[in-house]
Amino acid sequence: MQPPASEIKQQRIVELRQLLQKASYAYYVLDDPIMEDAVYDQLYRELQQLESQYPQFITPDSPTQRVGEKPATQFSSVRHNVPLYSLENAFNIDELKVWQERWKRHAPKVESAEYVCELKIDGSALALTYENGILVRGATRGDGIVGEDITQNVRTIRAIPLRLNLENPPSRVEVRGEAFLPLEVFQQINQERRDAGEQLFANPRNAAAGTLRQLDSRIVAQRRLDFFAYTLHIPGMDDASIARTQWEALELLQNMGFRVNPNRELCPSIQEVAAYYKYWDTERLNLPYMTDGVVVKINSFALQEQLGFTQKFPRWAIALKYPAEEAPTRVENIAVNVGRTGALTPLAEMRPVELAGTTVSRATLHNSDRVAQLDIRVGDTVIVRKAGEIIPEVVRVLKELRPDNTVPFQMPTYCPVCSQPVIRPEGEAVTRCVNASCPAILKGAIEHWVSRDAMDINGMGEKLVQQLVHRALVQSVADLYDLTATQLQSLERMGKKSAEKLVVAIAHSKLQPWSRVLYGLGIRHVGSVNAQTLTQHFPTVEKLAAATPEDIAAVYGIGAEIAQSVHQWFRIPANQVLIKRLQTAGLQLAQEITTSAVEASLLSGKTFVITGTLPTLKRDEAKALIQNAGGKVTESVSKKTDYVVVGEAAGSKLEKAQQLGVTCLSEAELLGLLKDVNG
């Protein structure tokens, strides 16, 4: 008996998908096309027609599903299943050798190691998640812990497989790589923008990042992003069962259907790494994409695991960068900045100069040793560059152009802010102010506390912090939680409404998790990633404060230096007083409430609708707060709605809530309710 027509069509749909996926793999990964473009287009159109006739057979991994039909309204934040660590930078072979000596100190029994060299692509990092072989999520790097869900845009990149090229894929695979724009495409995009009178992209990296954040995936598809994969992680499987080395991992990625950079090289020693770096210094100019350096990784996964991580970087990898763009300019003044740790940093104030797409007028001189090494003086002509294409720094002084009567610069012996004596601890290159009451230290501590990665207090800018410190309204971060709208109104450019909004924003920061509070405390060597790691192992401030340096150092990714710094911080009486004040103010000094606690909370099973523009919270932030407290957020108001959170320009949802008698809350009332729920 002949099978039903629908079954025959379904078999043809499956066959077409397999043919097209095989053709994409050959074209994008193997660089060895197996069919003409016209044939591919014909098969693709046939698949489109069949799927339109039988939409019940459409699957997410179909080649026709690469471009979404409707633009996204916004991107949601997502937490990475595996953190994306950044890499430490080296700018020459000598610094590379210093890195090798450093990792060897952590593995004294290892005499030598192989290295894998890969070109560092100038693009935008992506985190891809596959479940049972199907792409389910694509996210930006973000801060390494949380990124933005841009799955709809990622699906448009043809070098990223929608289905892994494996017969029996693991239940979950995490893939990391770099999305980038080929130079030809970049130039074409800028020409189109020039013709349309639009602002040009500064470089391919900015263009790639901007493309990935387009809300309309059809625009992303038109820009023809490319992608190289460079690492993977398969939860629940030990490395030996996946791949024992980085080189094997790259081959596995290619077999899975990804493009990996064809110019990678396995180097048996640091000398071969240096030769690879030197070769590509000039040869990279012939590549069809931008590269700004070489990523060097220890090949052995076992040795990688042994070396672990510092507070920011893996010890087993480094980015060996090529010299950045340089430009000459004139030093007009040398100032000294005092940071939140009391460090005195000399800064060269220069005649503005264009550098790597931006205007530069200030450059760090790091410390007194660097000043002495450069012998930099006011009036000098200097060469300035962007270290890692981010931070401006002075490379060298053109002494042959030095004017007469210049004088060597001397670091101050007294703090330029509080006028107290400064010290330079033995064995350190940094000169420090050790006056705990120094306004610059206090100002830096508060700016760090209110920053986006810490307590994220919206509206608390640098000038406002400066006024609070200058008028002695705050003498520690705990004082922020005692501020009133009346006090804030007394400050410059602070009206009644702005003051009230800021009080609400400060109160809202009490809901930030324990990890952000720990990072905000500004403990030396504790970055945002380390704070996440520490709070997972020490779920309350009491447990962390009571931990020994050995307890802390035993945490994977936390070294002895960080452990000692954390331990010493909690031994200082003033810091113990600060913790007690923050507890009294109601900040979260313990891990988030558990699922069982959420289910038992007052908001469990409650339904919310958010309408209008809230004073300080973005809609996603308000939604996350409600969901974390056990509530549910929907889009429409009905008899089943328990609360409507109302902002400015609320519209019809507010009217319907009033008609149905649904309780309406302001943002302040919502935060008060959440505070009650969290105790």
**388-416 residue pLDDT tens:** 445 788 988 998 889 999 999 999 999 99
- Give dist(CA 475, CA 467) in Å, integer: 12
**Res. 267 pLDDT band, cuts 50 70 90:** very high
In terms of pLDDT, which residue wins out, 649 or 549? 549
523 in the same domain as 382: no
How confident is the model at residue 677, as a pLDDT?
A: 55
Q: 229 falls in which pLDDT band (50, 70, 90)?
A: very high
Q: What are the structure tokens assigned to 388, written together? A: 């890692």
pLDDT at 602: 61
β 291-298/265-267 pair status = unpaired
Is 320 a known ligand-binding residue? no
What total number of domains does the chain contain? 6
63: closest CA among 83, 77, 43, 35? 43
N-term to C-term CA, the chain: 69
Instruction: Tell me the DSSP string of 470-537.
Output: HTTS-SSGGGGGG--HHHHHTSTT--HHHHHHHHHHHHHGGGS-HHHHHHHTT-TT--HHHHHHHHHH
386-390, 416-420, 498-502: the lowest-pLDDT one: 386-390
Q: What is the largest CA-CA distance in the chain?
A: 103
178 marked among binding-site residues: yes
> What one-character DSSP code corresponds to residue 649?
S
pLDDT, residue 61, reads 73
We report the CATH number of the domain holding residue 451 as 1.10.150.20
The rounded distance, in Å, linking the Cα atoms of 243 and 396 is: 45
Q: Which residues contact 14 (CB under 8 A, 6 or more apart)?
A: none
Q: Which of 266, 294, 321 is a domain's end point?
A: 321
The CATH number of residue 614's host domain is 3.40.50.10190
From the number of C-beta atoms within 10 Å of its C-beta (0-12, 13-18, 19+), residue 487 rates as middle
Task: Kindly report, residue by residue over 1-21, the tens digit of the pLDDT.
Answer: 566 777 777 888 888 878 887
Q: Is residue 599 part of a domain?
A: no
The pLDDT of residue 388 is 47
Handedness of CA 163, 168, 171, 174 (dihedral sign): negative
Residue 316 is assigned to a structural domain of this protein? yes
In a domain, 489, yes or no: yes
Binding residue per annotation — 414?
no
Q: Is residue 434 part of a domain?
A: no
Residue 37 counted as an annotated binding residue: yes
Does 545 lie in the same domain as 658?
no
The pLDDT, as a whole number, for residue 596 is 40
Closest among 208, 142, 187 to 453, alpha carbons compared: 142
pLDDT given for residue 188 in this prediction: 85
**297 and 160 within one domain:** yes
For residue 543, count other CB atoms closer than 10 A to its CB. Answer: 13
Which positions ≥6 away from 486 have C-beta within 8 Å? 499
pLDDT above 70: percentage of residues in the chain: 90
Span of 74-88, 93-107, 134-148 with lowest mean pLDDT: 74-88
Instruction: Look at residue 231 and tell me whether its pLDDT is greater than 60.
Output: yes
Q: Among the listed ranges 93-97, 203-207, 291-295, 385-389, which one has the minimum average pLDDT value?
A: 385-389
Q: What is the pLDDT of residue 635?
A: 74
Is residue 372 domain-shared with residue 394, that is, in the same domain? yes
Amino acid at 70: K
Residues 349 and 409 occupy one common structural domain: yes
Q: Tell whether residue 433 is among the known ligand binding residues.
A: yes
> pLDDT higher for 376 or 141?
376
pLDDT band at 334 (very low <50, low <70, confident <90, very high): very high
Q: What is the pLDDT of residue 599?
A: 40
**Where residue 21 sits, what CATH number does that domain have?**
1.10.287.610
Instruction: Pinpoint the alpha helices (H) of 126-263.
Output: 151-154, 183-195, 204-212, 217-222, 239-242, 246-256
Residues 235 and 356 in one domain: no
Task: State whether 642 and 538 are in the same domain.
Answer: no
- Is 73 a member of any domain? no
* Residue 67 forms part of a structural domain: no
Q: Give the helix/strand (H/E) hosting 676.
A: helix 667-677
* Of the listed ranges 116-130, 560-574, 648-662, the one predicted with least confidence: 648-662
CA quadruple 285, 290, 292, 294: dihedral positive or negative? Answer: negative
The closest alpha carbon to 150, from 221, 200, 78, belongs to: 78
pLDDT: which is higher, 550 or 639: 550
Per-residue pLDDT tens for 51-98?
778 788 887 777 776 554 444 456 788 888 888 888 888 888 999 999
Name the band, by pLDDT with cuts 50, 70 and 90, for residue 49: confident
Residue 392 has a pLDDT of 84
Say if residue 374 is in the same domain as residue 303.
Answer: no
CB half-sphere exposure, 318, CA atoms < 13 A? 22
Residue 633 has pLDDT above 60, yes or no: yes
User: In degrees rounded to 5, what are phi and psi of residue 187?
Assistant: -65, -35
Span 300-314, mean pLDDT?
A: 86
Characterise 138 by phi-psi region: left (phi > 0), alpha (psi -120 to 50), beta (else).
Answer: beta
Boundary-marking domain end, from 510, 536, 553: 510
Asked whether the predicted pLDDT for residue 428 surpasses 90, the reply is: no
| CA atoms of 252 and 260, how far apart (whole Å) | 10
Per-residue pLDDT at 552: 92
Catalytic member of 120, 510, 623, 653: 120
Asked whether residue 431 is domain-assigned, the answer is no
The least confident of 279-288, 496-505, 591-600 is 591-600
- What counts of helices (H) and strands (E) characterise the chain? 26, 22
8 Å CB contact between 181 and 211: yes
Mean pLDDT of 327-351: 92
Helix (H, G, I), strand (E, B) or coil at 320: strand
Run of H or E including 344: strand 343-355
CA–CA distance, 177 with 231 (Å, rounded to integer): 7
Please tell me the predicted confidence (pLDDT) of residue 410: 92
The CA distance from 511 to 631, in Å, is 16
Please name which of 550, 520, 524 lies closest in space to residue 535, comparing C-alpha atoms: 520
471 carries a ligand binding annotation: no
Nearest to 611 by CA among 554, 657, 674: 657
Q: Which CATH number do you get for residue 364?
A: 2.40.50.140
For residue 238, say whether it is annotated as part of any ligand binding site.
no
What is the edge-to-edge ordering of all strands in the sheet holding 134-140?
Answer: 134-140, 124-131, 172-180, 226-233
Q: What is the pLDDT of residue 547?
A: 94
Share of the chain above pLDDT 90, in %: 42
Same domain, 297 and 406: no
Same domain, yes or no: 144 and 262: yes
The closest of 676, 677, 667 to 622, measured between CA atoms, is 667
| Mean pLDDT in residue range 132-158 | 89
3-state secondary structure 8-67: HHHHHHHHHHHHHHHHHHHHHHCCCCCCCHHHHHHHHHHHHHHHHHCHHHCCCCCHHHCC
**Above 70 in pLDDT, residue 634?**
yes
Strands (E), 369-464: 381-387, 391-397, 422-423, 431-433
- Of 321, 338, 356, the last residue of a domain is 321
Query: Which CATH number characterizes residue 246's domain?
Result: 3.30.470.30
Q: Are residues 193 and 312 in the same domain?
A: yes
Residue whose entry in the numeric block shows the structure tokens 């189109």: 192
Is 267 labelled as part of a ligand binding site?
Answer: no
Whole-number average pLDDT of the chain: 85
Residues 169 and 316 placed together within one structural domain of the fold: yes
| Stretch (H or E) spanning 647 | none
> How large is the average pLDDT for residues 253-266?
93
For residue 230, tell me if it sits in a domain: yes
| Digit-coded pLDDT (tens) for 52-63 | 787 888 877 777
CB 120 within 8 A of CB 88: no
Average pLDDT on 255-262 reads 92
Confidence of residue 114 (pLDDT cuts 50, 70, 90): very high
Whether 120 sits among the annotated catalytic residues: the reply is yes
Choose the weakest-confidence range: 2-16, 246-260, 332-346, 421-435. 2-16
Which of the residue ranges 197-211, 349-363, 466-480 would you say has the lowest mean pLDDT?
A: 197-211
Does residue 382 surpass a pLDDT of 80? yes
Residue 388 structural domain: 326-423
Cα of 435 vs its chain's centroid, Å: 33
Return the CA Rg of the chain: 28
166 marked as part of a ligand binding site: no
Sign of the torsion formed by the C-alpha atoms of 53, 56, 57 and 63: positive
DSSP string, 519-588: HHTT-TT--HHHHHHHHHHS-BHHHHHH--HHHHHTSTT--HHHHHHHHHHHHSHHHHHHHHHHHHHT--
Q: Is the pLDDT of residue 351 over 90?
A: yes
Residue 415, annotated as binding a ligand: yes
